[in-house]
Structure 1
């Protein structure tokens, strides 16, 4: 899940190092897409790993698809098939384990999206399909359409989830965990680096927030809410120290603790950072109900579920 750094901030050599460290440490989910690094995943080819591919209407490849497809819907059968075949050729793979529909497409009827996903699975290009940044209602609609027409429903949703972004994963999606078995592949566990504490004294030059395209992140960090978040992170550091771990490890383990979260996508820019983040697995058993309650008290943003109102 290093969509910002791979092909942009780091070299292919470092990228390959990161992939190798992840693979050797048991990571078996690598998140890629046809538009990441302009479609050049050279360092992925030699790894026998689980891959998912986010299919959507990419700007750079759009004109090429227009020549092939009569309909220009982002999730039409033609667009999806052409895009996924291209991804598989570049990855030198016969199939991916999961293909994701990235962002809902209001121009394409839901039935066509579900039929398109069912088609690529039935033709051996993918084993399953999932959604990314879809609402619970949209996921439920896809599931209902699949059941109505005997098609294949989505199995997971990619959702942003971290200490300061909790509502969707903790409030909107739990119904789906239990009713239709949809799991969450969460992303941005460190909130674009905010949770690491590195922005406590401003914006470091080598950080993501220093990039021109991430001006919005810089403004967010320097805002009043951003300063309040840094103050809370300072308090959370004391909990991390008691558990003999770092703040990033605590934050990632906290995400993994959620029953609906099947996997957490990490985004790292150097080997030391990745090794530290992978250490979150050892921290997970240390986050007891008491520790989780202490974290909630500091954050003050725990969503109120229906059962909280019953006595």
Structure 2
């Protein structure tokens, strides 16, 4: 495994982060989840990402139980707050002081911890004053319940503003978790520059485009039953919302396969290595339903792609790349679809 600092902070994470969105508490049972976490630890992965939203809290609970007994100081545990709207609770899903303060305590109970290493705001909340959100997150750190703060899927102007506020409060903003892959490049125009200016590192999620970049989905063929899109409604919704099973996308991905073979890589390794080569990207979040998947993907940290191969990869997918910076504000809007 390789390791990297997050932005300009002192926090060091494994370049492959194990994430349990969708899988834990949803698509795989707890035994399979524990096997994947064990494989992650054995491969040198130190960093684990979850959120209160995932499986309505069950993902945090499973992760907490699986990591119980491990040396806490050797782990980096990341979770998020926001987006989880619940019937009958008008404060749920906001980034208000009330919701942030209550949610960190709930996440810690589910994880079985007294602190997390990185606490992240899950999407920007335009209904709450930014000053209130940043101050609440700073207080989470000052209370000892988190070491660092970050955001997820925030636009560049909000990252710049939040970073200034956080710095003034003595609790720097260190990370932005953003969707980024060879197919989804909306952060390149504004978010990446804003983050670099602000000392914020990128933690890239969905580097395999929800599985589209694994090669398991093929144009004109049925979705494999054991795939993320075939294993349940949540997986199908997750990959379908981004239009990654569009025939144009799948045809472009098919053109990447021989490039990976030529380089002696699997297609997922090529896709992850492409993300990790980007300046400002500290790590990539990958999920898995089987240990073998995780171990294969972790091999991407040893790959250095030459520029000639990168140009050929970019050319192969040029017609289906999403790069509209406005999608940072509305990632599920009409422009996301081909």
TM range (shorter): 0.7 to 0.9
Per-residue CA distance 1:249-279 (angstroms, 9 max, x = gap)? 1101111111111010001111111111111
**Equivalent residue for 1:296?**
314
Q: TM-score normalised to the size of structure 1?
A: 0.86
Q: Does 1:140 align with 2:166?
A: no
**Equivalent residue for 2:336?**
none
Per-residue CA distance 1:178-199 (angstroms, 9 max, x = gap)? 3111110000111111111111
Q: Distance in 1 between matches of 2:87 and 2:106?
A: 10
Match of 1:233 among 229, 245, 253: 253
Q: Does 1:8 align with 2:31?
A: no
**Equivalent residue for 2:81?**
55
Q: Does 1:90 align with 2:110?
A: yes
User: For residues 142-161 of structure 1, what are the structure 2 equivalents within 5 Å?
Assistant: 142-147=162-167, 149-161=168-180
Q: Distance in 2 between matches of 1:72 and 1:189?
A: 29
Match of 1:115 among 125, 135, 150: 135
Superposition RMSD in Å:
2.4
User: For residues 176-195 of structure 1, what are the structure 2 equivalents within 5 Å?
Assistant: 176-195=194-213
Q: Distance in 2 between matches of 1:288 and 1:302?
A: 23
Change (3 A) 1:162 1:73: closer
Per-residue CA distance 1:196-234 (angstroms, 9 max, x = gap)? 111113311222223334357458355xxx222222222
Shift of 1:73: 7.5
Change (3 A) 1:303 1:217: closer
**Equivalent residue for 2:5?**
none
Contact 2:209–2:244 (Cα < 8 Å) also in 1 = no
Q: Distance in 2 between matches of 1:104 and 1:13?
A: 34
SS at structure 1 position matched to 2:128: coil
**Equivalent residue for 1:212?**
233
Change (3 A) 1:216 1:95: closer
Q: Distance in 2 between matches of 1:304 and 1:103?
A: 18
- Give structure 1 stretches of 5+ with no counterpart: 306-311
- Give structure 2 stretches of 5+ with no counterpart: 1-18, 326-338
Q: Distance in 1 between matches of 2:116 and 2:87?
A: 20
Q: Does 1:252 align with 2:272?
A: yes
Q: Distance in 1 between matches of 2:233 and 2:148?
A: 36
The higher-RCO structure (CA 8 Å, 6+ apart) is 2
Q: Distance in 1 between matches of 2:78 and 2:233?
A: 29
Q: Does 1:99 align with 2:119?
A: yes
Change (3 A) 1:303 1:101: closer
Shift of 1:117: 0.6
Change (3 A) 1:30 1:86: same
Q: Distance in 1 between matches of 2:256 and 2:175?
A: 30
Relative to total residues, which structure has the larger helix share, 1 or 2? Answer: 1
Q: TM-score normalised to the size of structure 2?
A: 0.79
Contact 2:85–2:93 (Cα < 8 Å) also in 1 = no
Change (3 A) 1:221 1:185: closer
**Equivalent residue for 1:20?**
38
Shift of 1:146: 3.2
Q: Distance in 2 between matches of 1:87 and 1:218?
A: 29
Shift of 1:93: 1.5
Q: Distance in 1 between matches of 2:83 and 2:260?
A: 41
Aligned residues: 292
Q: Distance in 2 between matches of 1:73 and 1:278?
A: 33
**Equivalent residue for 1:309?**
none
Q: Distance in 1 between matches of 2:27 and 2:155?
A: 31
Q: Does 1:43 align with 2:66?
A: yes
